[in-house]
Structure 1
Amino acid sequence: MANFSPFELLKILTPRMIARGLIYPCRAAFHVTRSSQPDLRGLAFWRAVAAWLLSPPEPARPPLEAFSFPGDITAVEAGERGAIIIRAGGGALRVLPLAPDLLQIRVSLTGVFPEAFSYSLEKPESAWLPVEMSVRESDSQIELSTGRLTLVIEKSPCRLSLRDGDGLLFEEIEGVGHHAPDGQIVWRTALDEDTAFYGLGEKASRLNLAGQRFELWNFDPGGYDRGDDPLYMSIPFLLALSGGRALGLFFDNPYRAWVDLGTETPGLLEYRAAGGEFRLYLMVGTPAEVLERYTELTGRTKLPPLWALGFHQSRWSYYPQDRVLEIAREFRERRLPCDVIHLDIHYMDDYRCFTWNRDRFPAPRKMLADLREKGFRAMAIIDPGIKVDDQYAVYREGVRRDVFVKYP
């Protein structure tokens, strides 16, 4: 949490905000329980509310000894679309080449690989052209090669290593582990000790993430200092650089996850997820080639309008309406470049999305027109959540149409 002076805290925290902050966990527990367990009544309902309030803030992370691992390979099969399926005592591994420099790796405990659903992919596996992948098998290992990269799979126990034309890129420690009681998965692999890691979304860290541990769980901290984690945006993609070579790792799993980038052993990468399937995309090449392939896989940002690339003025709320117009006027009179003024949550009617507070902003349409005349665009915040309020039409409609995301 960021450090605020007492004076700053007095400006930010009103008695009403403090009271709401204290009440919020109870209200959240009530509404989550009501939504997720609608049939509960009476004492059973209130017990469920209490259980939600007393639940740990994050899942426990079991020791490695509590995980089961694939074991020895028992069979090798050809799958659809040029995939190779490796079966072992503890499940199965599916390797699918999507491009000469891009592999998809999936692990299944049941040995069955249904059509892969993803929230993240712009280009699903069915959209890629076939890629030839050679298969060589010996008594001790299986070698899969596309020409650009080679995946070597040890048979006893099942472990992967990845190579490109210049040598080894990584080597698994023990394969993908599974924790049966709660469905957690773990994957550990060794890279060069001097490997630099970049990515994972918004992190209050130095650019090179090596030697640190991070959580992938979107969280609104209110304020934060260097080293605080997690933050607002999590992206399970890593760019690993060593000796001029780049390796991209995209973990296509939306569950809460933790990534350790060598806190104890330099070059040792550990990925844990609270559940879901282990589905990893591996891509090699120069940094530019890896990012080109990653964006082909997950989608590319549309070209923004020119004004969006200009100068933005933003803080925790400009209000009322006259103050916003005053800010705009001062920018122009002082000849300071500015293209966009941001409006934070205080433009809303009691924090309800898609509304205006008519006391603070009595004529929003005119205000926006005045800003536009001065060469400004206005950008209003919209939160990805709807206020729980029976007097709020958007909330009532969302409940009626059953459109809100629910806890499992």
Structure 2
Amino acid sequence: MERDTLIKVFALVAIIFFIIEMFNLRPAVTSGPSTSSENTSNTTPLYASGNTTATLTSYSDYINVFKSGEDISANSSLDELKDIAGVGYINRVGGTVTLVLDYGANVSLVAEKIKEKFPDLNVTANALLSLPPEVELTTAAGKKNISINALIRIEVDPWLDIGDNVTLSVASLVVGNKIQGSLIARIVPTENEVVANATISGVGDNYTATVVLPWDMREVNTSKINEELSAQLSNVSINYAPDSFVAVKGLDSKSNETIEKIQNLSYVEEVSGDIIYVKEDFNDSARIEGDLREILGENATVDYTVSKISISFYSSNFSKDALLSVTGGQALIYRQTSLKLGEKITIDGRDYNLPSSTAPETMLLDSFAVGQNVSVQLKTERIGKRILNVELERVLGYA
């Protein structure tokens, strides 16, 4: 009996030991290769965004016409939209008007006709765009090549022709190298810098003058100038900071002893490199030139800066001589000028219609006259064949 009991005890101990060993061995048996942060990033959704090129493959067979903040669905004048070639019938729902098009209608051409008749209305259509199979997007973990290889439908101003390429700004959640959920996209306008001709169509009463003063005439009383000019001009504003320094080539290579002698001149504020800063009320060029030649030698040359007063004002009968009689110096006078561009502009060999309201203004030298032709550099934004924005960068000169 005791022997049987002893056997049972040993058997029970063996079973318990075996169970304990199973738990001790379990991590080693079940654990695979260690999980890295890279594997985690392959399973955690990340926000990704970037730009890519897409191709317009087709439009939907309807066009939406609306005006922001206004219900146009009851506007009877829009009935004439039915007369546009390609329009089948009109639906009026929820403050907007939807034109259902005939099969094969040219969507962008219909949209163009709508804008000709009603330029203040917004016109949109659903566009189907084809994206490349892989797009490089930026995430918090760095740049990733994301697989897309899909078509995307977005609401656009229908100024693109089928087959046109556009730049898309896209964003989405990604897991690994695949899109998770929906892809958000919008068309990014294409920017171009172009040279074009323009005609000066008008001038205004707004002027700016840059008055150049020699170094020894830079000490002026701007309050007095403002007072005297205000007696003959309107809205006078003066901005002036005199340049109270001279330049001496090679000064920065001189010894500390030589620099100290210059620094000890009573009118010198500071010496930095080749530049000597002087007190604002010191304007004796003969004296500083004599002192520097005595210290540096007779071959020392002094370069004097000029100072510029910027004056803005309004006048209907401005006289340059009257201005200079108050300020002294020499002046460049600029006047508010309106420019008229042509109806079309050429970008990369293709003609584009300019918005009818394009009439940039700038400040031009008052030597330019109404009716003269000038060459201008423009910055344009466009989507497809429509110019969205035109910005005048500069006038290059007479055309």
**Superposition TM-score tier, normalisation by shorter sequence:** under 0.3
TM-score, length basis structure 2: 0.17
Structure having the larger proportion of residues in strand? 2
Larger RCO (CA within 8 A; separation ≥ 6): 2
TM-score, length basis structure 1: 0.17
Which structure's CA Rg is the greater one? 2
